[in-house]
Structure 1
Amino acid sequence: MLEAGIAAFVARTAGIYPAHAATLSPAEQRAIYDRYAAAFTPPLPEGLHVEDRTFDSAAGHRIALRLYRSSKAAEAQVRGTVLYFHGGGFVLGSLDSHQVVTARIAADTGLAVVAVDYRLAPEHPSPAAHDDCIEITRAALEGRLPFASLAADTPLLLAGDSAGGNLAASVAMRLRDLDETTTTRVAGVALVYPMLGYEPQRPARDTEAHAPMLTLADVHAFRRHYWHDLRDDQRPPAWMVPIDADRFDGLPPVLSIGVEHDPLRDDASVFVERILAVGGRAQSWIGQGLVHGCWRALDTSPGVQRMHEEVCRFLLDRARLS
């Protein structure tokens, strides 16, 4: 059953975002998504500083970044930087579309938040988004992000929702595979309703296939744009589908959040189970009565407010302990 605040959120969304949107062209989807996101984006919290910059990638393209710093940052006893990778099925999303999330994390924690505008499919299929996020994370670890106010010696945390959750977990796995000492410099990874496999985990894959906000058909449509339809022997590299990885050890502490009415719900808990099975540090949290994409209902849903508090608490705890 949907929480009352979420039922109202779903109804309002239906008035803006058509159910058949995933069947439209990427350009049409983006236009709808941007209008939808704008409708749920409140004014910036008071005392928040925002700074836009671009990062020149090694491949020659530019990656747009946005830094959020709260006035609390100057007074905070805990310092750290959160790299945030937005959701949108690898097809949708921008610095603006997820400001409702990134701005509030910065305002409510006092941590610096850097939103990453990675390349989108189908114009830039796999591994473009993953490559961009790995490059930005390495630059952050080496103090090369184009923000003079960011200190290189503060804890770095990774966070993301939906496809962005995949990117955050994938980056942590890839850094571990390339250089395990690098991964130890990432203080924590926060995943919110993440897409962690090529195919969602059961039972939610089946029981929530027609959930409001995101259906299994939607998941498959986004997947085709980024990875195409692959045979079993053509699946993406294991580190890009973290739940199917060969190894679950050597990762930073993980918070993985699923929501009840979402075909991706069980990705979150199964990922945590596999990390814990090899002695890693991970915790899961399931939002009862919540739906995929519900972070936008932060101002109206008690359940989303609790979810947001879980994320902020985890990020602050990990920054404090690092």
Structure 2
Amino acid sequence: MGNSEPFIREDVKSLLKLLEEAGGPALSEMTLDEARASYVAIHAMADRPARELAVIQDLTCPGPGGEIPLRLYDARESREPGPVIVFFHGGGYVIGDLETHHNLCTEIAAQMDLPVVAVDYRRAPEHPFPASVDDCEAAARWIASNPEALSRTATGIVTIGDSAGGNATIVVTQQLSANPADVPVVLQVPIFPLASDAIGSTSIKEFAEGFILTKDAIEFFDLAYQPVRGDPRAFPILSDHAGTPPTVLATASLDPIRDSGRDYGAALAAAGVDHVFLEMKGLTHSFTNLRQAVPSAQVDLERIFAAMKLMLGRA
């Protein structure tokens, strides 16, 4: 840990102690089905309950590998044209799905008072890189172009996602900047994203184990997803950042991939991109889905929403 122990919040300490006492195998020791089930189980245990919303509707859109399942969330039955939030879930491109992030998506829809469309992209290892980001891009383009199917007209897209979904957020934003969709990306919100290669970083060494996301899990995901080193669609730090839309970027101080997010913030600053950078002190990776077990994380999620409203001019 270097010369000084990192700051850990009391509610985070309690959760980490609970998980340590519970024990259990590492992700790399589980079957794929067990790994996916464990991710659903921890979110079911640790996240706040889903919000009641006027609209929660399953849809599909065409994608490069077949139909892509989507889920529309909205606090209102109907609304005027405006921004639509497109959500990409985390889980290393391997273990997440619509259910693991359902509660979080209801929270985003309720707090932002905007429609949210969650994307259930193809996952590795069945579908390695770049299947996941190809699906995410296809879904974002479809959402921009299909007001009839959504019963909502997008005037702009807000891309948002956590972890692997944070990677997808940046990649999709870059793809839609290079080759515009029917409406522009007006804001991107990568939350504890993988932007640069985390392997070998200081944070992955410092928080290799005992802080929710482990070095073992990162290597497990990397092996399954097979991202191509040197490809900006795998590591979007490698792209040109000029022309990036306004950004709200959040990292967690106890996260093994923290430095990857910090690298991206530095790249945005160097390119003169209008952005808000928030590092949540004393929180771990996945804090957005641990809000029941770590009550203080709800406040940090609301800080992200406040920054989003600020950047959208809706404060």
TM over 0.5: yes
**Which one of the candidate residues 247, 259, 265 is aligned to 1:266?**
259
Residue of structure 1 in register with 2:169 after alignment: 168
**Paired residue type of 1:166:** N
Residue of structure 2 in register with 1:196 after alignment: 195
Distance in 1, matches of 2:25 and 2:255, equals 15
1:133-174 per-residue CA deviation (whole Å, 9 max, x = no partner) reads: 0101111222368322x213x331000000000000011112
Distance in 1, matches of 2:276 and 2:311, equals 13
Distance in 2, matches of 1:237 and 1:144, equals 33
Does the 8 Å contact 1:79/1:320 carry over to 2?
A: no
CA gap of 1:14–1:100, structure 2 versus 1, over 3 A, is farther
Does the 8 Å contact 2:109/2:115 carry over to 1?
A: yes
Does the 8 Å contact 1:288/1:303 carry over to 2?
A: no
Q: Structure 1 residues 45-54 or 109-118, which shifts more?
A: 45-54
CA gap of 1:28–1:112, structure 2 versus 1, over 3 A, is same
State the shift of 1:250 in Å: 1.0
Distance in 2, matches of 1:189 and 1:280, equals 12
Unaligned runs of 5+ in 2: 1-6
After the TM superposition, which residues 1-322 of structure 1 pair with which residues of structure 2 at under 5 Å, given as runs?
1-14=7-20, 18=24, 20-57=26-63, 59-71=64-76, 79-143=82-146, 146-148=149-151, 150-152=152-154, 154-179=155-180, 182=181, 185-200=184-199, 202-227=201-226, 235-243=229-237, 245-299=238-292, 301=294, 303-320=296-313
**Paired residue type of 1:167:** A
Does the 8 Å contact 1:17/1:33 carry over to 2?
A: no
CA gap of 1:31–1:266, structure 2 versus 1, over 3 A, is same
Distance in 2, matches of 1:145 and 1:93, equals 28
State the shift of 1:43 in Å: 3.9
CA gap of 1:246–1:97, structure 2 versus 1, over 3 A, is closer
**Paired residue type of 1:61:** G
Unaligned runs of 5+ in 1: 229-233
Residue of structure 2 in register with 1:231 after alignment: none
| Number of residues of Structure 1 aligned to a counterpart in Structure 2 | 308
CA gap of 1:273–1:96, structure 2 versus 1, over 3 A, is same
CA RMSD of superposed structures (Å): 2.5
Q: Structure 1 residues 138-147 or 276-285, which shifts more?
A: 138-147
Q: In structure 2, the residue corresponding to 1:251 is in which secondary structure? A: coil
CA gap of 1:60–1:240, structure 2 versus 1, over 3 A, is closer
Q: In structure 2, the residue corresponding to 1:54 is in which secondary structure? A: strand
State the shift of 1:185 in Å: 1.1
Q: In structure 2, the residue corresponding to 1:155 is in which secondary structure? A: strand
How high is the TM-score relative to the length of structure 1?
0.86
State the shift of 1:202 in Å: 3.2
**Paired residue type of 2:206:** T
State the shift of 1:42 in Å: 4.4
**Paired residue type of 1:39:** M
CA gap of 1:155–1:317, structure 2 versus 1, over 3 A, is farther
1:84-126 per-residue CA deviation (whole Å, 9 max, x = no partner) reads: 0000001011111111211101111111111110000000001
Distance in 1, matches of 2:102 and 2:23, equals 19
Does the 8 Å contact 2:195/2:263 carry over to 1?
A: no
Q: In structure 2, the residue corresponding to 1:219 is in which secondary structure? A: helix
State the shift of 1:13 in Å: 4.3
Q: Runs ≥4 in structure 1, deviation > 6 angstroms?
A: none
